Amino acid sequence: MRIYGDESKFRAALARYIKRADELLDQAEGVRKHMEKIGEPYAHLFVGAGWEEDVKRWLMSARSGLLPYLQEQADDALPVIAYGLPSDKGGSRRVIDVDSGEPWLKEARDELVAMQDSVGVQRDVSRQAPVPVRFAELRASGLIAEKVITDHEKAMQNPRTPRQLSNAIGSSKELTEATLRAALDRLGAGWDKGDELTALMKKWRKATEGLAPPNPNGRQMLDQALAALGNIIQFIAEWRNEYGTGHGRPQYPPDLTLRHARLAVDAAETSVRFIVLTLVDLQRLPP
């Protein structure tokens, strides 16, 4: 079967119509019980008719929503939905009530589920619970004002829109830079006001050279790890220059997604955590 147009949008439409059908099927039992409680002749007028109209709207929406993606295949691919509502006993007109509508709707729903199985369901892990921003070590260190950390954390927490994604990348760089400046102060190492992030990282590595290995045997391995950390710092700086806030951009980068922002945030978290814990080992944190 061929899907015309955007296949991801077709999958999303299928999922949407299946979800709505499930909701209507859940409501059917309550509608039937309510009708029995009220009794004829008013039950259908006040209760059943509303559910029936919802089912009719669902059918019309599913038809119009899926037809552009299926085109000439629609009748064969979705025969229950293509045929429409069940006919009355004489077969002269299409009618629906709760008794006839519930099994018909279940059959139509199952038809969509079968199609969903055939085209596959695209997973979207980004819609899971937001990953928390974790700068607990920095917050406890006393290196940076609480308000500064909180403001940057808010910018990095669950970004979605182009502006939020760009802000998250920018805050990743800004908080990493502020941590390096504060760490250099605690180490008694000088830095210039115009120093960029990569320059600050080089000065921090020089200031901690020979002080941080767990033992003499670990110095070479730690130097290699710090070189890799320096690459991460350079990435944060360049990523921010390209996609983060600042630099007088006329518009936000249009193609940013959550993974681009999370990459910057995760890189910043790793870098900041190691810098702070190094100061812990060296006993250079503020009292």
**pTM, 2 dp:** 0.59
Measured distance CA(230)–CA(56) in Å, rounded: 62
Whole-number Å distance between alpha carbons of 120 and 116: 6
Same domain, 107 and 22: yes
Q: pLDDT of 99-145, one tens digit each?
A: 778 888 999 999 999 988 888 765 666 656 667 778 999 999 999 99
When pLDDT is averaged across residues 168-188 and rounded to a whole number, the result is 95
The answer to whether residues 272 and 139 belong to one domain is yes
Four-residue CA torsion sign, 83, 88, 91, 94: negative
Distance, C-alpha 121 to centroid of its chain: 17
pLDDT value at position 88?
56
Residue 6 has pLDDT above 60, yes or no: yes
Residues 184 and 162 in one domain: yes
Q: Are both 273 and 220 inside the same structural domain?
A: yes
Q: Is the residue at 1 inside a domain?
A: no
CB 38 within 8 A of CB 46: yes
Show the tokens assigned to 135: 């700068």
* Cis-peptide, bond into residue 41, ω within 30° of zero: yes
Query: In this structure, are 140 and 90 located in the same domain?
Result: no
d(CA 168, CA 162): 10
Same domain, 104 and 39: yes
Domain that holds residue 102: 7-119
Whether residue 287 lies inside any domain: the answer is: no
Choose the final residue of a domain: 49, 84, 119: 119
Q: Is the domain of 144 the same as that of 277? A: yes
Domain co-membership, 104 together with 145: no
286 inside domain: no
* pLDDT tens by residue, 52-82: 888 889 999 999 999 999 999 989 999 999 8
Which residue among 90, 119, 148 closes a domain? 119
The total number of structural domains that make up the chain:
2
Question: Is residue 241 included in any domain, yes or no?
Answer: yes
Asked whether residue 162 falls in the same domain as residue 249, the answer is yes
Query: Tokens in use for 167?
Result: 């802000």
Specify whether the CB–CB gap between 31 and 47 falls below 8 A. Answer: yes
- Is residue 267 within 8 A of residue 172, CB to CB? The reply is yes
pLDDT in tens, 190-218: 999 999 999 999 999 999 887 766 777 77
Of 173, 189, 190, 188, the C-alpha closest to 240 is 173
Looking at the fold, whether 145 and 277 belong to one and the same domain comes out as yes
**CATH code for the domain in which residue 213 is found:** 1.20.120
Domain boundary at 86, 103, 119, which?
119
